[in-house]
Amino acid sequence: MEYMRVWTELDVEDVQQHIIMVEDKYGHCPGCKKIGIELKELSNCPGCGREFKYVTSKDARAGKHDIVMRTRKKLPELVFVDYDDYERVTGKKKAESLFNI
Ligand SMILES: [Zn+2]
């Protein structure tokens, strides 16, 4: 099997509520700011209990896919979201709420 990035429509708020950020071996929860989360057999945040459905990583920027493959092996049930897309969309949403659009 090979990896290809697929574009799909997602609810930004749903992604924000259910995403884990992964760096190398561990993850961190943007919800409760817990760091050092073990990735094995992970479905909920050990800090705040939020359900994880999506994962992203800064290390996957610019099409680097090593981290994607490693993360997909550990967390096959999560959808890997492109970090730049996530930043772009959540940044846009933040700007909209600032200007009340
Ligand atoms: Zn949490």
How many residues are given for the chain?
101
Q: How confident is the model at residue 98 (pLDDT cuts 50, 70, 90)?
A: confident
State the pLDDT at residue 101.
Answer: 60
Identify the residue whose tokens are 């574009």: 7
Token pair, residue 97, equals 């709420």
State the average pLDDT for the chain: 92
CA of 10 to the centre of ligand 1 (A): 21
Share of the chain above pLDDT 90, in %: 73
State the pLDDT at residue 33.
Answer: 96
Mean pLDDT to the nearest integer, 29-47? 94
Domain segments of the chain as ranges: 12-99
State the pLDDT at residue 4.
Answer: 87
Token pair, residue 85, equals 């897309």
30, 23 Cβ separation under 8 angstroms: no
Q: How confident is the model at residue 93 (pLDDT cuts 50, 70, 90)?
A: confident
User: Taking 80 as the threshold, does the pLDDT of residue 69 lie above it?
Assistant: yes
Mean pLDDT to the nearest integer, 34-58? 95
Token pair, residue 1, equals 């099997």
Is beta strand 54-56 parallel, antiparallel or unpaired with respect to 19-23? parallel
CA of 24 to the centre of ligand 1 (A): 18
CA of 21 to the centre of ligand 1 (A): 11
